[in-house]
Structure 1
Amino acid sequence: MGRVLIKYAILFLVLVLVQVLFLNQVQFSGFANPYIYILFVMLLPVSSPKSVVLISAFLLGLSVDIFSNTLGMHAVATVFIAYLRPLIIRGITNREEDMSDYPGLKQNGIGWFFYYTTLMVVLHHLVLFFIEVYTFTNFLETLYRILLSSVFSIFVIVLSQFIVFRD
């Protein structure tokens, strides 16, 4: 239990630091910005209590908000996907016994993980970007930003599973 807690604490810290120090500085044409910090919520064990997942998601989003000066937008979007996470996992998993407790690529396969990542990232980005603009005036431009940032985020998250998270 202690090793698992330390592992996730380090993952939390590393993802926040990578996001705020490096990835927040990466922007293509002002439209595409990768957000990989949500990988922490995605990789929490499936058997984790919902309250732990929601509190962790809030703290994760709040940490990114503090360093990004975004007034709770990341916290809201991250808690939103943490709340929907069990429904998404149940919806895309055929049978309960097929599901590993760790929702990673190696444990569940590339197809499952890609679908899971796509759903989580798109939902996160929908909430994040519509809260950011707080209007539907430039609806198509916001959808374009969501699409580009989602594709970029999904690519980086799946790539990280091949490079960093091989266990």
Structure 2
Amino acid sequence: MAEKIIKGVLQFILILAVQVLILNNVNLFGFAQPMLYIWFILFMPYNSPKWLLLTVSFLLGFCVDVFSAQVGFHTAVSVFTAFIRPVFTRAFAPNQDTNSGNNPSAADMGLVKFLVYVSIMTLIHVFLLIVAETFRVDELADMFIRIGLSSVVTIVLILVCDAVFFRVKRV
């Protein structure tokens, strides 16, 4: 048990460091902002208590906001993402796995289900974050380009990280 907690804390710190030290300084094509930190929210074990999921998501979003000089958008959107996460893990994970200590991954869910799960959750997260940050009617086209490109870049990063840390089941 203590080993899992230490591993989780180290993953939290590593993902936070990568996000705030590297990815917050990356702006691909002038539109795409990678948001790898949401992988930590999506990756928490199926059987994580809701209070823990929401608290960790709050802390993660708050830390990203603090290190990004933001006003709370990452915090609010991260908590919302954690709040809706159980609905999607139940929809895409095999029933027996949602009560286990397993983590949502391509190896556990299968590549197609994991890709759909990650895509939906990432799109919701990125959409809400970018709309909250930059909603202006005169910038709708740019906003939707940012949402699309940021989502694609984030999904690719999450899939790469998942492939590095877990073996994928053949579908």
The verdict on how the C-alpha distance between 1:83 and 1:136 changes in structure 2, with shifts beyond 3 A counting, is: farther
* Structure 1 segments unaligned to the other structure (5+ residues): none
Report % sequence identity.
35
Moved more, 128-137 or 53-62: 128-137
3-state DSSP class of the match of 1:138? helix
| Aligned position for 1:147 | 148
For residues 2-45 of structure 1, the C-alpha deviation after alignment (integer angstroms, 9 at most, x for no partner) is: 11111110110000000011111111232001100011111111
**Count of matched residue positions in the alignment of Structure 1 and Structure 2:** 165
**Which string of whole-angstrom CA distances, capped at 9 and with x for unpartnered residues, describes residues 127-162 of structure 1?**
100010133442222111000000000001101111
Which stretches of structure 1, 4 residues or more, deviate above 4 A after TM superposition? none
CA drift of 1:109 comes to 1.4
Paired residues for 1:89-104 under 5 Å: 89-93=89-93, 95-97=94-96, 99=98, 101-104=102-105
2:46/2:97 contact within 8 Å kept: no
Q: Aligned-residue CA RMSD in angstroms?
A: 1.5
Structure 2: runs of 5 or more not aligned: none
1:59 aligns to 2:78 (yes or no): no
The 2-side partners of 1:12 and 1:53 are apart by 12
Look up the SS of the partner of 1:22 in the other structure: helix
Tell me the secondary structure at the aligned position of residue 103 of structure 1. Answer: coil
DSSP 3-state at the match of 1:157? helix
2:61 and 2:78 in contact (8 A); partners too: yes
1:98: Cα distance to partner? 5.4
Aligned to 1:74: 74
Q: Deviations over 1:56-80 (max 9, x none)?
A: 0000000001100011111111111
What residue in structure 1 maps to residue 166 of structure 2?
166
